A and B are shown apart, each in its own frame.
Chain A
Amino acid sequence: MSEQAKSSDSSVPRGILGSNALKSYLGAYGFMAPAGILVIVFFLIPVAIVLYLSLTNLASSNFTSNLAIMEFIGLKNYQTLLNDQFARKIFFNTIFYVLVTLSIFNVSLALLVSLLTTHIDRSAGFVFRALWILPRITSPVVYILIWKRMIAEAPFGIINQFNEALGQPTYNYISTNPWVFVVVVNGFIGVSFGMIIFTSAIESIPKDLLNASLVDGSSKLQRIRYVIMPLIRWPLLFVVTYQTLSLLTSFVEIQLLTDGGPGLYRTEVWSLTAYHRALSNYFGNAQWGYGSAFAVLLVMIGVVLAVIYMRVFRFDELIAEPRVEAL
């Protein structure tokens, strides 16, 4: 049929069609260019470099930013990493940290807070959410300072002051329960992201639907269970996946609170190890190459999770074809 069309009218300017298509692509690439360049310069090239670094023994003692003269040592860093007697512990520490913080705080508590703040007076809800956002917008140094003061030993610690007032024994919490506070401290920061997404999702449920359920005779609790929860399934999944990755890569608060201690790697997580090995002079010498090996493994975990995440989010629905073909 297309043959017929071509032969039936030779005046169709085929060549122009081609160059027009090219022109319209150029337009699209123009829109994409700023993002594309940033992604290439600050993601793609760095990923390539980190891969390469993990195959070198670059350290602060033999530092060079010239990739060509770095000493290539193959997979030796990875070998060292696998033989590292603490790698296993740090790995499970990371899983523990992510799972427990995510399930208790970033998801459950965030959901609870957004449900509570959407079921009270609207302006009161705004106040409570503003308070919940405090940990995220406070400088980590000060936020951790607050928590350090909360759990410090008597007479400085606030919790211990309450303990004393109640006639209870006082504790050195950072050595008795370091994980509890690592989880709580990060958890209180993590609540706000889910809270905002969930609240926004709940607010975008049509008011008619919410009113209809009350008119139909359900209580507020039943409405949450049967109307709101099913409708925010997707944001729930989104928060779960997005926050998993955020937690995997977050280490600043842990670094400031326990720096992986007390003792040997008691609260050390993978990203903190990458940072320790690579950037902080933990052993007097920042081992950039070795730290990169840790980073590469984290990148791989991140990519795998992101791919799963895309599957879950039905990627195909996101890329429905544009319905305009003009330039």
Chain B
Amino acid sequence: MKARDAVFDTLKVKVDERPQSLPQDLVEALRLGAISILVLLIAAFLFSGVIGPLFALGGVEETVMDVLTRLSLLALPFVAYIGGASVARRYTRSDIARALGLAFSSTVILFAVISAGYYVLDYGVFAPRQSLQMTLSQSEAGIRVDAVVAGGAAETAGLQVGDVISAIRRDAVDLDAFNRRLSQSKEGDPLRLRFKRGEEELQETVRVVLVSDKQLGALWPGLALALAFTAIIVFLPGHWAPYIALVGLLSPLIVGYFWVIIATFSFRTEGLVPLDGNDNFGGFTLKNWESIFVGNIAGLEFNIVPIFMTSLAIAVVMTFVVLLVSSMAGYALSRMHFPGRRFFLSFTLILHGFPAITLLIPIFIVLLRLGNIPVIGELIGFNTVGGIALVMVAFQLPLGVWLMKGFFDNIPWDMERSALIDGASRWRTYWEILLPQIRPGLLALGIFAFIGGWNAYIIPATYSIGTGVSNLPVFLNELIDETAPVDWNQVAAVGLFQLIPIFIFFIFAQEYLLNIYAGGTKGSS
């Protein structure tokens, strides 16, 4: 098999590897660093020079490509150092001195190369900065002007050495605040400065200019950072790397969900900080949770139990119907001959990729019509749990049928033949012999269906009126629509209330969900 050949290829590489001399190692480290730099430069160019303009041509007003470009350039030095240090890591266990020497020398060289690039291209630490072209220092009286650049912005505006700046417009500033304000302004922005010259109170407007001073001294913090980063890479235990990467990638979610938990237990928040009514830290409260169970949020009265039960009912009904209907169809498609089989199979695949949500309007009409049919209409018409569950079952069917067929395909034919010879009908064969054997598939599909049913929003919201069949997601939206002003911390609590059961369910179910590939998509591989 191909994979095996590939394995032997890697074996060859290993065999060819001989201990290298230090210069050879250094060359290899620099080569890896250079490749990293090149790859990221090309990526940055593709983002900002090719893909971005292409979409701009289509009228898309996006900044994603700018962000990607900036991220690539930001990551560039670090990736390069990792490239260099990865060679040094071979010696971390055997010869620490060699490892560190190799890593540091490659980092210093790469740092020099990158810095040279920055210098030439006016980028990074050498990028032009917002400046008023004067030197300032913090004194007791205020910000003292120590020097002004001849012909520069400050001098042109009329500032002189010895002036003491106290405020920008009406905002009193110290040096830190002044610099922050400066760094946030753009080229040409006017800054109206209040300052004292002797006893005289003056005001002048200085226009911000961009200056690149290119002082080599600015490099030292960068080099220190680079070396520290390199040392970390050299000593980092290899098995930590995936954990660090995973936590890093997850960090936005971790922060976000951390906020939502704080929010549900507090009066209000700014950023991640809970605040009380007087804008002081604190304001912890159980009110948000309490009111869910009391059944009164900002005057909106409700009973959480039937809403919870409706959610559960929709999810459970849907799961069972999806499992039954998909497994029956999957069985027939996998195991039986009938005219139309090919058609239905290809049709299922088309449905599988069908934007079902585009059918919201016509399905609404269908449900209205079904509602007019006596008896059946009571069960599956517009504004009934049955109708909503059936629509959602239909939307899940393509995936379900397809998965189930895959699982049935994986059961040996002899099993089926044996049952038929033993005297079973096709129905009993399906029910008693084959279904028990695709349990992993049923579990995986069931989990999918249950999560889908529990979180169903758009379909229950579109096809139900009033609270008769509202489930938790619909209730949540009602809460937003019908209370003013919306208490978002309260909304978060309801949202978390909905999330917790399904999250616990998922934690226990994940093991089974991972069987989805065992039969599901193998038909094609």
Q: Which residues of A pack against B, CB within 8 Å? A: 24-25, 27-29, 31-32, 34-36, 38-39, 41-43, 45-50, 53, 65, 67, 88-89, 91-93, 95-96, 100, 109, 112-113, 116-117, 119-120, 124, 126, 128-143, 145-147, 149-150, 155-158, 160-162, 167, 169, 176-177, 179-180, 183-184, 188, 196-197, 199-201, 203-204, 209, 212-213, 216-218, 222, 226-227, 230-231, 233-235, 238, 241-242, 245, 248-252, 263, 266, 271, 274-275, 278-279, 288, 291-292, 295-296, 298-299, 301-303, 305-307, 309-310, 313-315, 317-327
Contact = CB atoms under 8 A, between A and B. Distances in A.
Contacts of B417: 324
B524 A145 contact: no
Given A92-B58, A169-B184, A196-B514, A34 B63 contact: no
B281 to A, nearest CB: 13
Contacts of B141: none
A315 B346 contact: yes
A144 B426 CA distance: 49
A-side interface mostly: helix
11 contacts: A39-B397, A112-B245, A139-B476, A161-B270, A188-B253, A227-B6, A234-B521, A238-B524, A242-B353, A313-B349, A317-B524
Contacts of B243: 120, 124
B525 to A, nearest CB: 4
A243 B432 CA distance: 35
A129 B413 contact: no
Contacts of A96: 55, 58, 60, 62
A145 B477 CA distance: 12
B328 interface: yes
Among all A-B residue pairs, the 4 with the closest Cβ atoms:
A142-B495, A161-B271, A92-B58, A306-B353
A31 B391 CA distance: 20
A309 B55 contact: no
Contacts, number: 401
B260 A158 contact: no
Contacts of A53: 361-362
B354 A27 contact: no
Interface of B: 2-4, 6-11, 13-15, 55, 58-64, 67, 176, 180, 183-184, 239, 242-243, 245-246, 249-250, 252-257, 259-260, 263, 269-273, 324-326, 328-329, 331-339, 341-342, 344-347, 349-363, 365-366, 368-370, 390-391, 393-395, 397, 401, 405, 409, 413, 416-417, 420, 425-427, 430, 451, 454-455, 457-458, 462, 472-473, 476-477, 480, 488, 491-492, 494-496, 498-499, 502-503, 506-507, 510-511, 513-518, 520-521, 523-525
A160 B271 CA distance: 8
A137 B499 contact: yes
A46 B480 contact: no
A35 B326 contact: yes
A310 B524 CA distance: 10
Given A38-B397, A150-B252, A167-B180, A133 B506 contact: yes
B337 A28 contact: yes
B430 A31 contact: yes
A22 B473 CA distance: 47
B516 A120 contact: no
Given A317-B523, A317-B524, A324-B420, A141 B353 contact: no
B420 A279 contact: no
Contacts of B346: 310, 315, 319
